[in-house]
Structure 1
Amino acid sequence: MHVEPEKINSILATDCGSTTTKAILIEKRGEEYRLIVRGEAPTTVEAPAEDVTKGVLNAVTEVEELSGRKFLKDNLIITPQQGNIGADIYISTSSAGGGLQMMVAGVVKSMTAESAARAALGAGAIVMDVIASNDGRLPHEEIERIRHLRPDMILLSGGIDGGTTSHVVELAELIGAANPRPRLGIGYNLPVIYAGNKDARSTIVETLGKKTALDIVDNLRPVLERENLLPAREKIHDLFMEHVMAQAPGYNKLMSWVDVPIMPTPGAVGEIIKTIAELEEMQVVGVDIGGATTDVFSVFSKIFNRTVSANLGMSYSISNVFAEASLENVMRWVPFHMEEKDLRNRVKNKMIRPTTIPQMLEELVFEQAIAKEALRLAFIQHKEFAVGLKGVQKQRTISDAFDQTSSGETLVDMMELDLLVGSGGVLSHAPRRNQAAMMLIDAFLPEGITILAVDSIFMMPQLGVLSKVHSKAAMEVFDKDCLIRLGTCVAPVGKSKPGKDCLHYKITYPDGKVKEDTAHYGEMKLYPLEVGQRAQLHLEPVRGFNVGAGKGKVREGTAIGGVVGIIIDCRGRQPFEVPTDPHKRVEKLQEWMKAINAYPEELYSIGT
């Protein structure tokens, strides 16, 4: 069904998560689209219901009750709208049933295999493993690994067009020998997408055509210097609908209700991040921190990347965060003294009771300390993955002779970053928005001038799929109802001694009032600037510090207002350091937290 965007006045959208199904109603009010109501219900993909549509109907029933309008008739969603009944379109995303789980295979681990992983991640998949000819594993180990993991589908790539075919054919033979059974559904063959050297296609068909459900798309790396990920991503989406979704309980019914294909939830969040970057001509980083995984999205120089840190989350994976980050790194964010035994008990308690939320102030601070480390580690993984093409010869100048990282450089440039968006319970539901701002700043260490925001009630997935149908409606709701603007962070890059001058600045408010001041190294300051307001910034870093125009050079800029305001962060970058002495650490953390009004006063008497 195709509906002209200008004829759409009401949109019903759901997101079927692993535990909760969320439904939202968007309507055109005057000349703009706005969120009207939101409902939610437990997801029903598992026993006893074993029908995903039951949870959808329950969530939509709540929307009916809250809006006073009817959307259901005979357990079906009414589309298009008739008078005051139904909605013009119904759309949905899903990560129920564990989402989309894939394996990718490529000839060279740092080249075609990495391109294949980028294609899968960009389509919203969790990449379970990457198999490559040079990954150091023996053939029988790789065969055993494929059989053991039972992915939803495999993406196979390798070789530039016209190059050698033997290596990619060997990978196909491994997949054929493993003859893996798909995770969902017994009576069909595993989908395999071939996106490698076109000269090997006939041999690939001979090897895998009868054992798997084989699809062939254009090469991911037709030449060494260029990636072509779109055909593979689109095919992954199609197969996700045809095979993976079709096997999950109730999805066939849900697929018949929607007006556009269901998208994997992370793929849909990626779509809204891409849409913002494109329409606003911005460099954007988005993060979604969940109970089990943390997804990071970025758009730099119009190149989109997504990574999934499958072992970094706030409930089921909290022990992994603690183990990977180390005790010292978690404790450096805790502004009071705490026994190691008590700390470890709290982590274990959260792991075995993943749905609990903090009841006491110190529990909240401790949970947010772990969140900072989960976000930091996920972002490190993202920067390592979001790189320029490896294996490509660059034209080099004499200055490059001293720089040995000419290919595979990260695309993430924090000084160029315009907007940092956070999503997920620990960020969206922080009791004070100042806490969310502090978590984002401490974890991502933005540089120069950066706008900070959080997703208010996690509707980015629904807006992502809506952006494919009606980008204007998606962006209006995103801007007015989804995005909570926290404010602007100003952070000079450099290193000095505590207390030394770092940044002279002038803030010119919309009413003409001017605030001039100097921030010292190791200091944070907060200035009010309300949502919807803009202030002009005149920034003069001292010698050795950079705010985006070069070391010691003046930068003019604009601060966007928010519920927190303008945060001046002169704690240094490259490196950013928290005092290691416990007493000095507590003193410094409390000073920073008080400076940006993150916590109530009683926090600072805990442990004294």
Structure 2
Amino acid sequence: MAELEEKPIQEIDDLEKSFVLADIGTTNTTVILIDTVDGSYRLVACASVPTTARLPWLDVMTSVQQGIGRISEITGRKLLNERGHLIRPPRKDGSGVDHFAMVVSAPSPLKTVLVGLYDEMSLASLRKALRTIYVQEVEVVSLADTRPEAKQITAVIQSRPDLITIAGGTDGGAEERLLRLVEVVVIAAMVLSNSQLPHVLYAGNLKLREQVRELLEENAHLHMANNIRPDLATEQLDDVMRLAEELYEDIKIQNLPGIHELSEWAGFPTLPTARAFAHICHYYAGQEQRVLGIDLGSNSTTLVMAQAGQVHLSVRTDLGMGEPMAHLLRHTAVDNIMRWLPDEMDEPDVANYLVNKSLHPQTIPLTEADLHLEQAAARAMLHCALQSTAVEWHWTSNGQAPHAPAFDRLLVHGAVFARAPRPGQVMLLLLDALQPTGIFSVGLDQYGVLPPLGVLAAHQPLVVVQTLAAGVLSELGWVIAPAGKGQPGKKVLDIVIESPTARFEGEIEFGKIEVFPIAPGQEAQVMVKPIGRFDIGFGPGQGKTLTLTGGLVGGLVIDARGRPLTLPRDPHDRCSLMRKWQWDLGG
């Protein structure tokens, strides 16, 4: 997860404006209308339609127009003229809007070759920087590569990369070994340039810049960045991140069919969806300390960790609920999907589902079995993304398994969450996949507004503040997840809940997950006291009195199942436990 540079927020300079915002994804396009209602900005309407970037349409404007058309049907407000163009500025009859903006994740990932000295140093830093955009790693060349040079060159050529990145050598350090790797790129670029000049980004030893320039400038579009590893103890990711995002925009977004016509409507810079999602997580972090954001999309999975003044972003294009589903078993065993199913299923049936889902990403579950399988795959996918990010960012201590650091707010975006029939299913999915500890609240982006609002965050902050304050998120509720180990049946904590209408006292035993009643939207005083060495974030055995608000799951969720979760080995017993947990959370 790489750290993003945050630009200062500019104050809004006019009021009473209306906005059409579009999120153009790989599979679906979401369009939302924001306008003032009783003097405050509100989400007025939203619509989701299939994206039309591919055959037979090859024009993303078509899906945006269809989404806007649906909003017009919902609101009775004319937004497009006879030629299908957005009406701007608004007319006296109430038609049209003031502004249009969009975020985009529809292009294919930036196919990238990584060239570096060592996997645990320069290549690891390159991966961190490049995972802030939509990148597909198609080839790696390093000193550990035992292939003959000719085969390395052939591999680079056959991968047909959009971008070749080179890193390695501290400033004033290794030269000869890095230049040998550069020679591979030089020869490959000569061949690739016969059809199109490749883009090459150099982020290695500064002393070699001019030599690299002389070797590559005739056969490549060469981009120079600061050394990503100027010394062994220092990473400089920002420059590579900035250039990579610019290249993604130039190579991918600007070549999306129909994007130029849409850009003529836009009054704000078009952002990659992942970056816009990071912006909105940063907004929340300014209010709620530490925020974990999850966007489980069709062709990518995005993790954001944000706190005041800092945003870290990690994008995995090899994990997603659409086309990447076919390759999920490369990252995890089929047992890690089947373990979350409430009913037994054969391995071939699971594998067939993953392939079919990748071929038809727009399909939705039609049976309860399909729904359970989709949610089980989402658990495995999220767990994979979290584990790899945790290792990459050293979220481990004292020999513990990789895990996310504590957070105060969990924001989730994606169709697999938004279309879940019951909020308890979403809550259980997240707790199973992430296995977090501490005290936090969960907000579900059911209407797909967070990335589109993220594009406005730096330009129209009042719009973002008022729209979110109006309750545009579905608040699932608060969670207390004690850290610690115990025996099943052993008491983990005592709890007292006092609301204006009732008082409740209870306890929870190790191995259980329960919902303690607080009505949705109702505030309650919660006194919680861990037993023994169990820790809810204030130290072993340390309790706290909190003011919490009830959510859609019907109360305060206490997850005392332990970390990591331990499931029965017997398939029948495991399925029975899954059904019990679903029942306990109303799923």
Establish whether TM, by shorter chain, passes 0.5: yes
Match of 1:524 in 2: 513
The reply on whether 1:108 has 2:118 as its aligned counterpart is yes
Match of 1:194 in 2: 202
Indicate which of 264, 268, 278 corresponds to 1:260.
268
Q: CA deviation at 1:447?
A: 0.5
Answer yes or no: is the 8 Å Cα contact 1:124–1:267 preserved in 2.
no
The normalised TM-score by structure 2 is 0.87
- Which amino acid is 1:7 matched to? D
Answer yes or no: is the 8 Å Cα contact 2:11–2:461 preserved in 1.
no
Indicate which of 75, 85, 93 corresponds to 1:76.
85
- Partners of 2:13 and 2:154 in 1: CA distance: 53
Match of 1:19 in 2: 27
The reply on whether 1:204 has 2:212 as its aligned counterpart is yes
Q: CA deviation at 1:507?
A: 2.4
Call closer, same or farther: CA 1:128–1:532 in 2, change over 3 Å: farther
The normalised TM-score by structure 1 is 0.84
- Which amino acid is 2:123 matched to? A
Answer yes or no: is the 8 Å Cα contact 1:124–1:268 preserved in 2.
no
The reply on whether 1:307 has 2:314 as its aligned counterpart is yes
Match of 1:580 in 2: 569
Give runs of aligned pairs for residues 22-101 of structure 1, distance below 5 A.
22-73=30-81, 74-81=83-90, 83=92, 84-101=94-111
Answer yes or no: is the 8 Å Cα contact 1:487–1:529 preserved in 2.
no
- Unpaired runs of at least 5, structure 1: 390-399, 599-608
Q: Report SS of the residue matched to 2:252.
A: helix
Answer yes or no: is the 8 Å Cα contact 2:136–2:318 preserved in 1.
no
Answer yes or no: is the 8 Å Cα contact 2:112–2:163 preserved in 1.
yes
Q: CA deviation at 1:499?
A: 1.0
The reply on whether 1:273 has 2:273 as its aligned counterpart is no
Answer yes or no: is the 8 Å Cα contact 2:282–2:307 preserved in 1.
no
Match of 1:605 in 2: none
Match of 2:229 in 1: 221
Answer yes or no: is the 8 Å Cα contact 1:532–1:561 preserved in 2.
yes
- Which amino acid is 1:497 matched to? Q
Match of 2:166 in 1: 156
- Unpaired runs of at least 5, structure 2: 1-9
Answer yes or no: is the 8 Å Cα contact 2:515–2:558 preserved in 1.
yes
Q: Report SS of the residue matched to 1:5.
A: coil
Match of 1:538 in 2: 527
The reply on whether 1:515 has 2:515 as its aligned counterpart is no
- Partners of 1:335 and 1:19 in 2: CA distance: 29
**What's the C-alpha RMSD, in Å, of the aligned pairs?**
3.3
Match of 1:603 in 2: none
C-alpha deviations, 1:346-375, integer Å up to 9, x for none?
A: 555545554332222233223322222222
Call closer, same or farther: CA 1:5–1:79 in 2, change over 3 Å: farther
C-alpha deviations, 1:250-308, integer Å up to 9, x for none?
A: 3333333322332222232223223322x225222222223443332223686543334
Indicate which of 149, 170, 188 corresponds to 1:139.
149
Answer yes or no: is the 8 Å Cα contact 1:375–1:444 preserved in 2.
yes
Q: Report SS of the residue matched to 1:458.
A: coil
Give runs of aligned pairs for residues 489-508 of structure 1, distance below 5 A.
489-508=479-498
Q: CA deviation at 1:331?
A: 3.0
The reply on whether 1:553 has 2:536 as its aligned counterpart is no
- Partners of 1:299 and 1:170 in 2: CA distance: 40
- Which amino acid is 1:578 matched to? L
Q: CA deviation at 1:456?
A: 0.7
- Partners of 2:254 and 2:298 in 1: CA distance: 26
- Which amino acid is 1:448 matched to? G
- Partners of 2:167 and 2:350 in 1: CA distance: 46
- Which amino acid is 1:46 matched to? R
Indicate which of 155, 169, 179 corresponds to 2:189.
179
Q: Report SS of the residue matched to 1:97.
A: coil
- Partners of 1:589 and 1:366 in 2: CA distance: 13
- Partners of 1:120 and 1:516 in 2: CA distance: 50
Answer yes or no: is the 8 Å Cα contact 2:204–2:228 preserved in 1.
yes
- Which amino acid is 1:175 matched to? V
Answer yes or no: is the 8 Å Cα contact 1:491–1:547 preserved in 2.
yes
Q: CA deviation at 1:69?
A: 3.1
- Partners of 1:532 and 1:187 in 2: CA distance: 61
User: Identity percentage over the alignment?
Assistant: 30
The reply on whether 1:430 has 2:420 as its aligned counterpart is yes
